[in-house]
Amino acid sequence: MELERVEGGLCAVKGVRAYGIKEGKNGLALIEGKGKAIGMFTSNKIKAAPVRFTMRQLEAREGRISAIIANSGCANSFTGERGMRNAEKMAELASSSLGVDKEEVAVASTGPIGKQVDMGLIEKQLGEVAKRLTADEEGSMTAAKAIMTTDTFHKERAISIGAGDEERVMIGGIAKGSGMIFPHLGLSNATMLSFIYTDVSLDAEALKRCFKDAVDNSFNMIVVDGDMSTNDMVLLVSTGGGGEISEGDFRDGLNFVCTELAKLIARDGEGATKFIEVRVKGAASVGDAREIAKAIVRSPLVKSAIFGERPDLTCGRIIATIGSSAIGDVDPDSISISIKSEGHRAVLVARKGEFVDLSGAARDIMKGKEIFIDADMGKGEREATAWGCDLSYDYVKINAG
């Protein structure tokens, strides 16, 4: 089974049209594509009105979606009953523009918390966006740009899966996210949003299994700053009508797209100067591996040391983080750590309970823009990978307002 990267993002999937507009800090994206839908949402106890509204929509129609309307510039979070009415009004406006059932419209928002949505602006922008919906690459690109907040670039990916001359299955998606990124998405963070479409023909339970696996391995493994948004949302919509592939092949493809989008978010962390990948292997369980990997990439001390290009401080803080985050017992004498960056081979920096020489090659590696850390726990065969970025002066400047 071949996996081929293609252009077009969302619009690579037949039957999907999109467009977006951005005016200053305020943007609006509209996506049309009918099919079975699954959502995963923030675990924050205070969920924004669009999150609660969309969860209700999916439940009401047993997971069927015809359109998504998403705005940037206002999170519509902590906005009381008026906020919920505005989320519903956004769905009504999209429904009227597209001629679809209001109960099959999902709503998403991103931006400052505690601010009411400017519905006059939403209505004005929607009038422009709706008449420019397109299945061309431009549709996906403009929609991805419309939902950006502190993002410095738009994020989209698409692939086709198939064998030989058979009809291929398409998976395409867009995402946004730069700060307030520490997603903990479950079935039932600026914000992390992602909308993914596919034409695969799989039953709802198979889609749900693949989606949960992909999100757990991707979006739930990125950390920019350790703060969880009230608005995090990932939606998967399957229009059907594509080629037939196995559940396993679709799962692999969906994992690829979600991981690519997640890594783009990590690379675009607010104020980031370096991309960080942490792989923890040799763990007793996948849960242990995930917890340790996320803890390392979440640590302000580790992130600051990487920004400062200090291998000695970085490694010492990694060790402290491992000890404080591990679920089970840790044997210091079993831990080994290596680091590498683009253009440099991996260098062993810790072995059998003590550090190896942290000068020379290790210092050169820390000057790279992509830092890869491998931590072997020496306890088993399970592993996990997390992604994030360093913590720079600019992050504080951005979030100080």
Q: Which residues are catalytic?
A: 191
Tokens 């990124």 -> residue: 181
CA distance 107 to 94: 9
Count other Cβ atoms within 10 Å, centred on residue 132. 15
Radius of gyration in angstroms for the set of CA atoms belonging to the chain, rounded to a whole number: 21
Residue 40: beta bridge partners? 234
Cα 80 to chain centroid distance, Å, stands at: 27
Q: 247, 261, 282: which is closest to 215 by C-alpha?
A: 261
The dihedral built from the CA positions of residue 113, 114, 119 and 120, taken in this order, carries a sign that is negative
Tokens 């104020």 -> residue: 271
- Regarding beta strands 26-42 and 17-23, do their DSSP bridges make them parallel or antiparallel, or are they unpaired? antiparallel
180 φ/ψ sector (left φ>0, alpha ψ -120 to 50, else beta): left
Cα→Cα distances 382→330, 379, 385, Å? 15, 9, 11
CA distance 323 to 339: 19
Please provide the size of the chain in residues.
401
Cα 61 to chain centroid distance, Å, stands at: 25
CB 368 within 8 A of CB 343: yes
What are the φ/ψ torsions at residue 294 (nearest 5 degrees)?
-70, -35
As separate numbers, helices (DSSP H) first and strands (DSSP E) second, the chain gives 11, 17
Q: 150, 343, 117, 314: which is closest to 229 by C-alpha?
A: 150
Count other Cβ atoms within 10 Å, centred on residue 88. 18
CA distance 57 to 42: 16
CA distance 133 to 121: 18
- What is the three-class DSSP state of 68? strand
